[in-house]
A = this chain, B = another copy of it.
Amino acid sequence: MQELEHFTEEDLKQLPSRYRAHFINSVTGYKSANLIGTQDENANANLAIFNSVVHIGSHPALLGFILRPLTVPRHTYSNIKATKTFTVNHIGSRFIEQAHQTAASYDDQQDEFEEVNLKKMYLDDFKAPYVEASMVKMGCTYVNEYPIAENGTVMIIGRIEHIYIAPGIQHADGWLQLDQIETAVTLGIDGYALPKVLDRFSYAQPGQAPKSILNETKK
């Protein structure tokens, strides 16, 4: 087998800061690619890219995401605290460039939806704006936050109140086949990739080899 390259914690500390950031952000693997939409109390909209959305629970339906340290103003955070609502919108492969551009430091009065040319929409009287182009969107309510003492990041927990999905992507058992709508993933700070589904396997049990269930759950 090919010899792997080894980096110790000490090696990592010696790396230039930008190099280390690219390395450590990509070494933990691909991440989910979502745009989080919010607005302040004066209806100034904000849209920001996040790669840290994780599943917390199904019943109640909860998700979490990590906000970077609050040492500079974070519109997403202040808007969520003010209005208690936010939307989570899948990034499709055909608008990764626009999604990436939401990371630019726009000021309070600038609306990222307009600046990056992604149309916003409001649905079912929900306060926060959705991304029209997203084929999966969620409307969430702020539930709690957990400050990560180690480096000042914060994990936000939200309850999923609304889900909108493109027709035809849901299998008979509830699972969503996201490659049919070309949902992207992120890789590191600035990389984007497009996954293709390989398979789904039966519930794992000792002494039984998993079997493929991808085709049998198709509607």
* Residue positions of A touching B, CB distance < 8 A: 1-9, 12-13, 15, 17-34, 51-64, 66, 88, 90, 93, 96-97, 100-106, 110, 115, 123-124, 132, 135-138, 143-144, 146, 148-151, 153, 155, 157, 159-167, 170-171, 173-179, 183-185, 187-206, 208-210, 213-214
Contact = CB atoms under 8 A, between A and B. Distances in A.
A204 B26 contact: no
Contacts of A24: 55, 57-59, 61, 160
A59 B17 CA distance: 8
Which 9 A-B pairs have CB atoms at the shortest separation, nearest pair first?
A29-B32, A22-B174, A193-B195, A19-B174, A23-B174, A104-B204, A4-B164, A24-B58, A103-B204
13 contacts: A4-B164, A6-B163, A9-B160, A23-B163, A24-B59, A29-B178, A30-B30, A100-B210, A175-B191, A177-B187, A177-B191, A190-B202, A194-B196
